[in-house]
């Protein structure tokens, strides 16, 4: 470092110093290699196809087919069904997650709450359980032979089957809720903690009750965090992969292309069609962007403050 | 929480704690209906903890049972002939001690991956917060856009890319991609903005400190809570990762716990003894992470820079 002591104050505003590049370049290089490059590769790859000669005697050649893979993916009834399933799953999971995380954060912030720190760490604990293991555990809890919950329900005459084709989407939503509600709750608690306590004092001096404080102070002030966790949940739900993969041996309600990601994984590694898989992955990414953009448009629309 | 700052910073103090804080007003008088409300709030908290603890309690109890008892006894109580020790011995001796190797691999992937990710995203986040350079905002939004890209969209093409350079199957194939945390850059930038005042940087410059030294010994100290948060979240993200190792690895010697347990789980239909291994292995890995999360819990909120901005 050549620290010029002559113009120390102006340096940050004029020519960027060498230190900037030391700080910035490692991340940018890694980001380019392991984030941007795969995306570019996927987009390019999705425009090509492997064409082998009829007998398979010569090596397959790579041909530019433009949108053919997308047409093939979007005209496959199974893939369309998996996209539909994904949208349905999002419609279940996103509101469930946001409302649960919000309820937990507000409950823990209530003046009457006892042992808030103990409860907070309890709710957050499942976040440390890998999704695979969470799915394995809930799998046991979804089977009457091993599930104490189903056994207790059965004892009072309720025979539920969470893995039936009607219920399995909710069973999967429950696993994701269990794993991530505490994490989202923590983000909301951090936002709630940042609200200056004078605001509560003032509201209470004005005679506002707990509900009015929630409605008129807490919710409006943590709005950005609510938007953030909603966005993360939308992205997360569109990645649905692990839970159906783990639950699949337990039920016939989950097919090998139950979600677009499962379908893409199968195309890439068991069907040997990485180009189609790339197209499917790009479709999921576009869907994620479309949903995120749509959601942000709705919440940012002028005058949309009616909580 | 280990905050020791004076009550002059209301913004950093949880509202519920401020009720009993020194200098706070006298406790407010209970309103009518306050008792019923308190009972409802606490009942809801208890119900929620039953829900979140249920699978954990189940697996800890199930890990003490023989394969037969797993299916024939009530799930939330111990069987008459517990065999936790036998299950643990079986877990750690199966496949030549594979489970211990998976634990070590998980620690390696998560520890090294999160460490490097934290260092480079803290540096980048600080650079975004404190320097001006061409195309800064465009670059930042591109990185932030990375948060929105589903991991599956990255993992599949990454396999083909790393395959082309012969890296698939190696430790690097999992480690390197885990070292990128766009969300970490975002967190580091907002925290550097909030907790490293420009005046401190200018003062250090006047005292003759170089930019890297200012970052390394002053800014990182003020950003410690953010840095710890980035590390913890990246650690857990890598620990919980499944798709990336699934795509990249084929040698069970390099598997993390998640992949190893599903490998065993896929063999339960051939040999039911694997069910006990999967259950006991799940219990052990749940205990590992719960210990980690509970013991590090105080770091998530620890306001270590308190006072640093006042001098």
DSSP string, B220-289: HHHTHHHHHHHHHHHHHHHHH--HHHHHH---GGG--HHHHHHHHHTTTTT-THHHHHHHHHHHHHHHHH
With beta carbons under 8 A apart, name residues in chain B contacting A145: 71
d(CA A208, CA A215): 10
pLDDT value, residue B298: 67
Check whether B6 has a pLDDT greater than 60: no
pLDDT value, residue B308: 29
Nearest partner of A4 among B146, B210, B131, judged by Cα: B210
Candidates A17, A26, A36, A38: best to mutate against B (most CBs of B within 10 A) is A38
Exposure string of B54-87, with b = 16+ CB inside 10 Å and e = fewer, is: bbbebbbbbbbbbbebbeebebeeebeeebeeeb
With beta carbons under 8 A apart, name residues in chain A contacting B298: none
**Size of the A and B interface in Cβ pairs below 8 Å:** 298
For residue A48, the cross-strand partners are A64
d(CA B115, CA B269): 39
Q: Residue holding tokens 């210990």?
A: B291
Superfamily of domain B53-308: MetI-like (1.10.3720.10)
Q: The dihedral of CA B124, B129, B135, B139: what is its sign?
A: positive
pLDDT tens-digit readout, A13-37: 456 688 888 999 999 999 999 999 9
Q: Residue holding tokens 């090509």?
A: A48
B70 within 8 A of B58, measured Cβ to Cβ: no
Check whether A46 has a pLDDT greater than 70: yes
pLDDT value, residue B116: 97
Q: Residue holding tokens 């399933």?
A: A85
> pTM of the full predicted structure?
0.84
pLDDT tens-digit readout, B245-276: 999 999 999 999 999 999 999 888 888 888 88
Are A41 and B161 an interchain contact pair (Cβ–Cβ within 8 Å)?
yes
**Residue A80: pLDDT band with limits 50, 70, 90:** very high
What is the maximum alpha-carbon separation in chain B?
A: 74
Are A31 and B180 an interchain contact pair (Cβ–Cβ within 8 Å)?
yes
Are B153 and A42 an interchain contact pair (Cβ–Cβ within 8 Å)?
yes
pLDDT value, residue B13: 41
pLDDT tens-digit readout, B43-87: 999 999 999 999 999 999 998 888 878 887 887 788 877 888 888
Looking at beta carbons, which pairs linking B173-177 to residues 24 or more positions away fall under 8 Å? Answer: B173/B248, B173/B249, B174/B109, B174/B113, B174/B241, B174/B244, B174/B245, B174/B248, B174/B249, B174/B254, B174/B256, B175/B108, B175/B109, B175/B112, B175/B113, B176/A30, B176/A33, B176/A34, B177/A34, B177/B244
Token pair, residue B255, equals 């598997």
**What is the C-alpha radius of gyration for chain B, rounded to an integer number of angstroms?**
25
From the list A11, A45, A194, the residue facing B11 with the nearest CB is A194
What is the maximum alpha-carbon separation in chain A?
A: 85
**Residue B305: pLDDT band with limits 50, 70, 90:** very low
Are A130 and B41 an interchain contact pair (Cβ–Cβ within 8 Å)?
no
Domain limits, chain B: 53-308
What average pLDDT does this structure show over A288-302?
Answer: 85
From the list B45, B149, B201, the residue facing A107 with the nearest CB is B45
Check whether B20 has a pLDDT greater than 50: no
Token pair, residue A117, equals 């720190």
With beta carbons under 8 A apart, name residues in chain B contacting A162: none
Are A13 and B132 an interchain contact pair (Cβ–Cβ within 8 Å)?
yes
């Amino acid at each position: 470092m050549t620290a010029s002591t002559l113009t120390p104050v102006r340096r940050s505003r004029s020519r960027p110093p060498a230190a900037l590049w030391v700080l910035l370049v490692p991340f940018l290089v890694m980001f380019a290699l392991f984030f941007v490059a795969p995306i570019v590769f996927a987009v390019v790859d999705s425009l090509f196809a492997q064409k082998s000669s009829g007998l398979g005697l010569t090596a397959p050649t790579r041909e530019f087919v433009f949108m053919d893979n997308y047409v093939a993916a979007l005209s496959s009834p199974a893939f369309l069904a998996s996209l539909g399933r994904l949208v349905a799953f999002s419609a279940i999971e996103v509101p469930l997650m946001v409302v649960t995380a919000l309820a937990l954060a507000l409950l823990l912030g209530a003046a009457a709450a006892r042992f808030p720190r103990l409860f907070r760490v309890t709710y957050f604990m499942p976040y440390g359980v890998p999704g695979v293991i969470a799915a394995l555990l809930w799998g046991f809890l979804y089977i009457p032979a091993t599930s104490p919950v189903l056994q207790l329900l059965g004892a009072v005459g309720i025979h539920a089957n969470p893995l039936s084709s009607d219920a399995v989407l909710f069973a999967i939503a429950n696993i994701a809720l269990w794993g991530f509600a505490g994490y989202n709750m923590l983000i909301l608690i951090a936002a709630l903690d940042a609200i200056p306590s004078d605001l509560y004092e003032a509201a209470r001096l004005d005679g506002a009750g707990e509900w009015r404080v929630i409605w008129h102070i807490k919710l409006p002030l943590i709005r950005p965090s609510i938007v953030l966790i909603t966005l993360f949940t939308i992205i997360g739900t569109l990645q649905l992969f692990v839970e159906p993969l783990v639950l699949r041996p337990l039920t016939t309600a989950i097919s090998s292309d139950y979600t677009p990601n499962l379908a893409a994984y199968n195309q890439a590694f068991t069907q040997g069609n990485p180009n189609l898989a790339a197209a499917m992955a790009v479709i999921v990414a576009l869907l994620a962007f479309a949903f995120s953009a749509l959601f942000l448009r709705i919440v940012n629309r002028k005058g949309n403050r009616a909580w | 929480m280990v905050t020791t700052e004076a009550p002059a910073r209301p913004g950093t103090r949880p509202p519920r704690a401020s009720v009993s804080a020194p200098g706070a007003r006298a406790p407010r008088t209970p309103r009518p209906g306050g008792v019923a409300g308190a009972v409802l709030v606490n009942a809801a908290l208890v119900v929620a903890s039953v829900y979140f603890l249920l699978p954990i309690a189940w697996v800890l109890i199930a890990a003490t049972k023989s394969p037969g008892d797993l299916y024939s006894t009530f799930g939330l109580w111990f069987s008459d002939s517990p065999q936790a020790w036998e299950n643990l011995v079986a877990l750690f001796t199966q496949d030549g001690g594979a489970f211990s190797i998976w634990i070590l691999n998980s620690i390696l992937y998560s520890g090294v991956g999160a460490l490097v990710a934290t260092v480079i995203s803290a540096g980048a986040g600080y650079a975004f917060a404190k320097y001006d350079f061409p195309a800064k905002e465009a670059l930042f939004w591109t990185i932030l856009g990375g948060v929105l890209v589903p991991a599956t969209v990255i993992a599949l093409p990454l396999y083909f890319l790393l395959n082309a350079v012969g890296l698939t199957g190696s430790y690097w194939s999992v480690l390197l991609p885990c070292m990128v945390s766009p969300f970490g850059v975002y967190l580091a930038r907002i925290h550097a903005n909030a907790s490293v005042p420009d005046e401190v940087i200018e003062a250090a410059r006047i005292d003759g400190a170089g930019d890297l030294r200012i970052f390394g010994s002053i800014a990182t100290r003020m950003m410690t809570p953010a840095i710890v948060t980035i590390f913890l979240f990246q650690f857990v993200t890598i620990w919980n990762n499944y798709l990336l190792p699934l795509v990249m690895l084929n040698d069970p010697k390099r598997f993390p716990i998640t992949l190893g347990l599903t490998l065993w789980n896929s063999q339960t239909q051939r040999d039911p003894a694997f069910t006990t291994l999967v259950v006991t292995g799940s219990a052990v890995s749940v205990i590992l992470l719960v210990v980690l999360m509970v013991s590090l819990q105080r770091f998530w909120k620890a306001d270590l820079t308190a006072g640093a901005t006042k001098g």
